Amino acid sequence: MVELERQIAQPDFWNDSGLAQQTMKAASKIREEVESWRAFQRRIHDLTELADSGDDTLRADLEQEISGLEADLDRRSFTAMLSGRYDDDDALLAIHAGAGGTDSQDWAAMLERMYIRWAEARGFKTEVLDRTAGEEAGLKSVTIAIDGRYAYGYLRSEKGVHRLVRLSPFDSAHRRHTSFALVEILPQVAMDDAEIEINPNDLKMDVFRSSGAGGQNVQKNATAVRLTHIPTGIVVTCQNERSQLQNRENALRVLRARLLELKHAEKDQEIAVLKGEYTKAEWGSQIRSYVQHPYQMVKDHRTEHETGNIQSVLDGELDGFMEAYLRQSV
């Protein structure tokens, strides 16, 4: 922190505005963390003084305060494990309906609701950047920006295939169906992040009218944007905003995140091959199953963490699953 403050105090600090903003952001995060720990220390000091007073009438209040401190300490000890480069950054969450037809598209919409509920409970900001509705119900895909400290650190546990087993409301015989949806979690990469540079000549941009379910046009003007990164073939579409410029900016946000993921995936694959550990990721290798029939259970197949209260999970209570995964990954 001392070194950052020394840099900020330099007369030529703002000569490079991109670097300056990045430094200010880093300093702000550290100040916030330091002040948080100082406030925690003050709570311990005040509690110790009250305990030393010998006043028995304060016993109930002291016990309640101790419980609060223990819960706060557990949260802090867990947060300390989120030490990856992008763990304390914002996240991009993408959901894609998989095998299962209308049921799968409905499942994707259920997952969208689940993650938005989880984010809102944590006080995170959510913004839908792109959404393609299903033909009959649900959605084919959705991309959501989730802004909040440690959003990516927590959500990276959700990356993978999610499987739902239930009695289908879209089947006239009301038979049991299995549906799949793919969840992608990407860190939001700052525009000035030197790790990802996009040459404008490598981009192809198409504009078109935004469309709703069944292909119906919901915009008279061509405001939707499709960006193609020619060297990698990555295609990103954004059509949720009424402004073509805003949709282009959002598409660039998603493209930068996907390029970063591709870069890291290639590096991880190279390391795994060298270690003799590489196995190709196949569709259908679900990370978590949500079963509504013939019994009720949500089970994570990586950690064996499970619960019988499927409704609470679908309402956004995911912390137990996230923490089990992240603790195992340390």
For the segment 140-151, what is each residue's pLDDT rounded down to a tens digit? 999 999 999 899
pTM for the full predicted model: 0.77
- Domain parsing of the chain, residue ranges: 2-79, 91-188+287-329, 200-275
Residue 284 in this model has a pLDDT that exceeds 60: no
Q: Among residues 186, 160, 154, which one has the least CA distance to residue 81?
A: 154
Q: What is the mean pLDDT of the chain?
A: 84
CATH of domain 91-188+287-329: 3.30.70.1660
| Structure-model confidence comparison of residues 298 and 213, the more confident one | 298
The residue among 119 and 14 whose pLDDT is bigger is: 119
Residue 215: predicted pLDDT: 46
Percent of the chain at pLDDT exceeding 90: 39
Helix, strand, coil content of the chain in percent (nearest 5): 45, 20, 30
CA distance 248 to 285: 34
Burial per residue of 256-272, b for 16 or more beta-carbon CB atoms within 10 angstroms, e otherwise: bbbbbbeeeeeeeeeee
Averaged pLDDT, 28-53: 81
Sorting pLDDT into bands at 50, 70 and 90, what band is 158? very high
Can you give the pLDDT at residue 281?
45
Decide: 315 and 114 in contact? Cβ < 8 Å: yes
Residue 303, pLDDT score: 95
CATH architecture of 200-275: 2-Layer Sandwich (3.30)
